Structure 1
Amino acid sequence: MTSTPKSTRKWAESTALASVLFMGTVAAPAGAFAADAAEASDAPRFDEIVVTARKRTETMLDIPMAINVVSEKTLEKLGANDFTDILGTVPGLTAYQNGPGRTRIVIRGISNGGGNDNDTQNQETVGVYLDEIPISMGSMNPELSLFDLERVEVLRGPQGTLYGAGSMAGTIRLVSKKPNLNEVEGKVETSLSTISEGTENYSVKGLVNIPIIEDKFALRMSGYYMSNGGYIDNVLEGHEAKDINDGSSKGLKLAGRVQVNEDFTIDLTFMHHDYSDNGRPEDVDAAGELSRNYPSFDGYDDEMQIYNMTMTYDLDTVELVSSTSFFKRDIINPRSLDQFYVLVDGFGDLVPHELIDYTQTETFVQEVRVSSTTDNPLQWTVGTYFDQKDVAYQNTWPVPGSDAIMPPASGFGAPDDHLYYGTDDLTVKTFAVFGEVYYSFDKFTVTGGLRYFNWKQDISSYVSGILAGGGTTDNPAQGTADGFNPKLNVSYDVTDDMLIYAQVARGFRYGGVNGSIPEAECADDLAEVNVSIEDTKTFDADKTWNYEAGAKGRLLDGRVMVNASYFYIKWQDVQTSRRFECGFGFKENVADSSSHGLELDVTAYLMDGLSLTVGGSYMTSTLDIDVPNLNAFEGDRAPYVPKFAMNATLEYVYPLTDNMDGFVWANVQHTGHRQTEYNVNHADYRDMEAYTVANVRIGFEWENLEVSLFANNLFDDRGVVRALRRAPFDPDGAIRITPRTMGITVRGNF
């Protein structure tokens, strides 16, 4: 049997798809593109987009802030399965990833930095919410299905007044569709695709909405199953395997709405999500592109349950909202340390085993707020917030047979055949009071906001084993913080369809407690930097001040929508990590940095059925001072932040028959150059070149049926989203965008 070279297959796939796209395009009525100016004047205006970003119902163009909304229709065209699929479509929003469920979100150059994904003290800088429920978690942001969402709201810039800690750079809100009290609704969607150099993906999704008692009680149920194909091969002799990073996700969501009376509504939600894969989507430089050469297993399991009850009471002049949530998440995150067996004498005969992180999180959240609902010039929102998060974390390296080779290993407090065993048990409690006031006069609106917060963390850390310095350490500790976060915004309505604004706002992120450092093993390192053990126990909060000016609105009789902003962010007391030669380290506040840039997105109806969206950002994010422990200097660019990023989407919808429309949709996303460290002299510095991704979709809509063919990453680019930094026991590698994926989606509504 003769095999086809990969380059030939890639050329054939591209040619075949281009042919399909060409035929789909020429099927459109040729005269459509010859429409005259009079016809163009009849093009539709943009609809008002309703959002709840400020915890009150408003239209997007009436909110004087930088906000992007990704609609349900756009999510379907993108084929978006989770929020990482929209990253290239929102100016100023980027991320770097270790795989699904292990994503660090970056807005305007502000991120939570490096370190272990499972670090319980590595807190997020971007808040992620499912409706009223905060679900963000440091470097382990859950990637829930976007099926049956009404929209995704991306709020750029600090949201410290209404959303508090964790939103010092911005907030992402996943807004679900609510049960319909009066109509039976349903949707079924299935998709089948194949990955270049990999295996197949397939998914089945469905929902049904049933009014149990008309106008009084309805249930909305949705579920999904997605099988994700792999494309990373293990080429190690004796361990050869294809497509080892395949995985699956499944979930169920139940929502109920009770209309107690015309003023009182109760919404109940339960969601279960379960994701697992068989290996990280990373290749190893020494093995070649999309390949790796180590034997141990590093699959990932992520399971969560979310419960929420939201009660809304309309009191004529005000609206009272109470949201009660419980969020439980269990993560198993193995990490390969195969190089240890090569680098350390005497371990070559042992079967390599991965380091395993177990994290269990339980979070309770209660928020009560009241908002004015009159037409008066003075409007306001005030509320209280409380949460308690309990985290149990275990970091363990079981190596069967290690006690026989290194007998003392079992005498250092670790279980048998464990080179390392550590735990963190912590409870974090937060209380806050917040409010915003909006006063309008003439064409001006002045907004003032303030949040008081009180935060407390109790943690007990235990480490043992020979790799913990040959001893055991039990380290109970506590961290506390309180303070205020202000906001001031002034906007001016230039016309009924255009406003300009200026804003200053403060964001913050809590500090934390460092793990124990054995004084005997690290005495020389501590002395070199003139730091005592006491100095390393805690680190402080960092904060951002955001200064911003922008304009947004509709032009040309509503056929063009513009959203533009300029920002300057001062990031003070940045939390950074210092590593010692002894193998231990701690977080400290020794850096200041700043970001400034431009963000722009424009959407236009060019003619009947033809629309174009163009967006992008240009920013610089640099250090303001020298930071010796990062081997970085004033003016060095921040890691993982591209100077330039852009996206463009063209969509053409045209009639095929009286009750059937065809469509052609194309999207291009460009991400600029990034690097892994501030300075090229850092030992872990690696470049990540700019890359461009093209996505296309063609199809038709016939009554309640939609069928489409698609290709994501049309030209099969191998762009790097994260270059894996060197470590003593890890090889160099990279995580890349998914290779070209071609397939078909069928969607039906009833």
Structure 2
Amino acid sequence: MRQYFNSAAQAVLAIATAMTMTAPAWAAEAQAPQTAEEPAQVGEIVVTARKRAERLQDAPLSVTAFSEADLQQGGVRDFKDVIGKTPGVSFSGAELGQSRYSIRGVSTTSPSPTVGIYLDDVSLLTTTSAFSGAADPVFFDFSRVEVLKGPQGTLYGGSAMGGAIKYVSHPPVLDERSVDLAAGLSTTAHGGTSYQGEAVFNLPVVEDRLAIRGGLIYREDAGYVDNVAGAPVVDVRTSTTPAPTLTPLVRPSMSTRSAKDQNSSTVVGVKLSALWEPDPTLQITPSAFHQVYRQKNTGVFWTNLPGLQSSFRIAQPTRDELGVYTLTAVKSLNGVDLTWLTGYVDRSVQFDRDYSFYIATLVPSLFGFTSPNASDSDTETFSQEIRAASSDPSARLRWTAGLYYARQRNELDQTVQTLGVGPVLGTGTDTVYHGNTVSRLTQYAAFADLTYEILPNLDATLALRYFKIEQSIDTTGDGVLNGGSTRGSARTKEDGFNPKFELAYKAGADSLLYASAAKGFRPGGGNPFAVAPSLCQADLAALGLSSVPVAFQSDKLWTYELGSKNQFLDRRLTLNGALFYTDWRNIQQNVFLPSCGFSFNGNLGAAEIKGAELAFQLEFIDGLTVSGAASYTDAKISETSPGVSAKAGQPVLDTPKWIANAAVAYRFPIWGDGAATAKLDYQHHGSSLRAFEDSYMVATPAGPVAAPNATQRQEAYDVVNLNLQLDYGRWRYDLFVNNLLDADPLLDHNVVSGMEAAVTLRPRTVGLSVRTRF
């Protein structure tokens, strides 16, 4: 039953991205202690992509980083608000907590993600489903966000095969007593008014020994989709006339709900951390982050209705609660830094949806009945990492080695009722489907990353991770739409190695060349639904199957990359580029069975991905900066296999060939001691394939026929943003217009429930925020 985010102008010069440009760099600040031989200048971003601090331009891999100032500018709320500034990165699922991110074409509809998500080096990955996607922490007191491109399996483990997204919290500061306050107000076209407020404090408790840091954020985002009563439903999967002329069936929705701006939402986030230094060689940091997201109704609208409207019969709220709790200890000892990292992640998603029209596509006679769907997903993950790393950045041999353990339990419980249908069917119950899936995963790993200076300015890196993964899945299903009572279970075990090889040549103080080859891996597992074979017989036969596979296999890839990072004109010009090629085998893919409403995970064959990225940043005159970046990705299915719908030669899903951005920023003095920064940025997202199926079946008076799938492709779209920032000492004012041209692309466009439905970007939003520090 599955359906499917302040120095003056010289600061600009120092900020550069690896392979793609960062977000606004003129306001960025150094974010961490620098351990490379050349110290970071004020305004430069320091990253920990390789689990050691280094200047962004010195890291021999493709990384895009957003500083704390970047994350506080222009009304950004979560990762999807900066994704347009990161070429090579795309997503599906526009709502918070429902996203599926992909990097450089490593994209599938399988529930196992291809991009690792981390908060302070603790994995936030869970088994995604039609009812939960990637965890999306709201941007709140982060020192930076790093986007790592290419396989990151050696240091970050399985499922980071396409790359990783790292959220880095602002740590407590021992010698700083401060309170940061912020408030914001904005209005959205076709919608209402949004509000945001946050407060963060840093308090030394024991001089040079103990400090605590905590904060609270509250955000209320206005909705912009209206629900109207009694609107017509255009069922494109049912025709009132035989082929070749297909006339979609039109009938009243039978909805009595009228709700304006129904998709409003709130986010509440709380954080608390401490830093204890018993002596100068030991740091102990416990931390807690808790976030609760509530959306009153889904943002799905029907494309047959004017504007952004739907006509659902019942409310469709979502509640997504995320807790991340960590304990980190770092001990410096005789040239070695020892790190102990314990993490516990708890995520709960409650997801209510109107399945009335979806059920009617399976059983047309049930159109007059209302069918609520309630799906609850709970995930608990415990992880432990112990690692040691050399602390001398000038040594010929620099190394990191460690051990990792994680245990995760996930439970999905789903109930679909068709109200009043019990007496009609003679079942004595309105529950037409109930399913429960419990999955468990345990993984062990040992890893090492060794870098050796084989010649002056020439480094060679060898990294290796050994992993062992054990999984189990137990499923039960019942109800007339399940074909009666069913049970299923699967047990899988896998182990193997993820290597990485790299050469990096420092041609000069501001020029770096590198080449790398890295393996990525994603574990297989059991399928989450116990499906009666007779129920989906026609769909299975069309795929050459007699039953739903009990399990699916792991997939693997190799990525080869050649890159260059350069700064010229006394660092007034930054120019970075990369070429990459990926050979992806045994790709995991979700396969939907339309006649019975179930889906399963299969392995579709192989894909080849070829691409290039180029980015520049130039200060023409003092205060005037122009930047831009573009990525080209040619990702195609090269081999297919029985049991899946993909065809050789088709593009990989959700992968635009072109993603690009450009920005112009000008910083200038204003009255008093103030300074202003005006910025215009443009983002282009190319078209992409949304589904492998080029047709869907339409019921006609003469029998079912195939009709072209008008929702198969995601069309290209462009977004323009404006921002004016005013700085007056400890006060900062931020005026912004996001989505200036009110772009409204049809995202996640589908006909799963008969009618054409989609979501879109937040319409044009005009706002003001104020920040201050005491």
**Displacement after TM superposition at 1:676 (Å):** 1.3
**Counterpart-to-counterpart distance in 2, 1:384 and 1:407:** 57
**Displacement after TM superposition at 1:131 (Å):** 0.8
Q: TM-score, normalised by structure 1?
A: 0.89
Q: Could you tell me which of 590, 602, 606 is aligned with 2:616?
A: 602
Match status 1:78 vs 2:74: yes
**Displacement after TM superposition at 1:532 (Å):** 5.6
Q: Could you tell me which of 483, 498, 513 is aligned with 1:500?
A: 513
Match status 1:384 vs 2:403: yes
1:270-315: CA deviation from partner (whole Å, max 9, x where unpaired): 1110001111212111223311122122221101211100000001
Match status 1:738 vs 2:751: no
**Displacement after TM superposition at 1:138 (Å):** 4.4
Q: Could you tell me which of 53, 56, 64 is aligned with 1:57?
A: 53
CA contact (8 A) 2:731 2:770 kept: yes
Q: Could you tell me which of 309, 312, 319 is aligned with 2:327?
A: 309
Aligned to 2:343: 325
Code of the aligned partner of 1:354: P
Match status 1:395 vs 2:384: no
**Counterpart-to-counterpart distance in 2, 1:151 and 1:204:** 20
Code of the aligned partner of 2:278: V
% same residue? 31
Q: Could you tell me which of 619, 623, 635 is aligned with 2:633?
A: 619
Aligned to 1:474: 487
Code of the aligned partner of 1:212: V
**Displacement after TM superposition at 1:730 (Å):** 4.5
**Which deviates the most, 326-335 or 634-643?**
634-643
1:64-119: CA deviation from partner (whole Å, max 9, x where unpaired): 110111111122223221111110011201111151110000100112316xxxxx
Aligned to 1:483: 496
**Counterpart-to-counterpart distance in 2, 1:219 and 1:573:** 48
Aligned to 2:583: 570
Match status 1:437 vs 2:450: yes
Code of the aligned partner of 2:154: T
CA contact (8 A) 1:438 1:448 kept: yes
**Displacement after TM superposition at 1:158 (Å):** 0.6
Aligned to 2:143: 150
**Displacement after TM superposition at 1:349 (Å):** 4.9
In angstroms, what is the RMSD of aligned CA positions?
2.0
CA contact (8 A) 2:192 2:261 kept: yes
- Map residues 575-654 of structure 1 onto 2, 5 A cutoff: 575-580=588-593, 581-626=595-640, 629-654=643-668
**Counterpart-to-counterpart distance in 1, 2:115 and 2:62:** 15
Alignment partner of 1:61: what SS? helix
Aligned to 2:430: 417
**Counterpart-to-counterpart distance in 2, 1:243 and 1:142:** 25
Code of the aligned partner of 1:393: L
**Displacement after TM superposition at 1:252 (Å):** 0.4
Match status 1:159 vs 2:125: no
CA contact (8 A) 2:344 2:380 kept: yes
Aligned to 2:524: 511
Code of the aligned partner of 1:97: G
**Which deviates the most, 287-296 or 497-506?**
287-296
Aligned to 1:221: 214
Alignment partner of 1:162: what SS? helix
Aligned to 1:361: 379
Aligned to 1:127: 116
**Counterpart-to-counterpart distance in 2, 1:101 and 1:288:** 28
Alignment partner of 1:624: what SS? strand
**Displacement after TM superposition at 1:345 (Å):** 5.6
Q: Could you tell me which of 265, 272, 282 is aligned with 2:283?
A: 265
Code of the aligned partner of 1:196: A
Q: TM-score, normalised by structure 2?
A: 0.86
CA contact (8 A) 2:359 2:371 kept: no
**Displacement after TM superposition at 1:691 (Å):** 1.2
The answer for unaligned runs of 5 or more in structure 2 is: 1-39, 231-255, 697-707
Match status 1:747 vs 2:747: no
Alignment partner of 2:262: what SS? coil
Match status 1:182 vs 2:175: yes
Code of the aligned partner of 2:463: G
CA contact (8 A) 1:451 1:484 kept: yes
CA contact (8 A) 1:265 1:313 kept: yes
Alignment partner of 2:422: what SS? helix
The answer for unaligned runs of 5 or more in structure 1 is: 1-43, 115-121, 411-415
Q: Could you tell me which of 735, 747, 755 is aligned with 1:721?
A: 747
**Counterpart-to-counterpart distance in 2, 1:368 and 1:99:** 35
1:633-657: CA deviation from partner (whole Å, max 9, x where unpaired): 3221122211111111222111113
Aligned to 2:7: none
**Displacement after TM superposition at 1:404 (Å):** 1.9
**Counterpart-to-counterpart distance in 2, 1:468 and 1:357:** 16
**Displacement after TM superposition at 1:45 (Å):** 8.1
Code of the aligned partner of 1:57: A
Match status 1:170 vs 2:163: yes
- CA 448–210 in structure 1, closer or farther in 2 if over 3 Å, else same: same
**Counterpart-to-counterpart distance in 1, 2:631 and 2:368:** 52
- CA 519–282 in structure 1, closer or farther in 2 if over 3 Å, else same: closer
Match status 1:107 vs 2:126: no
- CA 525–664 in structure 1, closer or farther in 2 if over 3 Å, else same: closer
Match status 1:703 vs 2:717: no
**Displacement after TM superposition at 1:321 (Å):** 0.3
Aligned to 1:230: 223
CA contact (8 A) 2:667 2:678 kept: yes
**Which deviates the most, 336-345 or 738-747?**
336-345
Q: Could you tell me which of 126, 129, 132 is aligned with 1:137?
A: 126
1:522-545: CA deviation from partner (whole Å, max 9, x where unpaired): 566656655465x81111100111
**Counterpart-to-counterpart distance in 1, 2:430 and 2:765:** 44
CA contact (8 A) 1:107 1:169 kept: yes
- CA 357–717 in structure 1, closer or farther in 2 if over 3 Å, else same: same
Code of the aligned partner of 2:524: G
**Displacement after TM superposition at 1:709 (Å):** 1.6
Alignment partner of 1:286: what SS? coil
1:393-435: CA deviation from partner (whole Å, max 9, x where unpaired): 1011133322222222x5xxxxx42110010112110100011
**Counterpart-to-counterpart distance in 1, 2:491 and 2:359:** 37
Aligned to 2:88: 92
**Which deviates the most, 628-637 or 258-267?**
628-637
CA contact (8 A) 1:636 1:679 kept: no
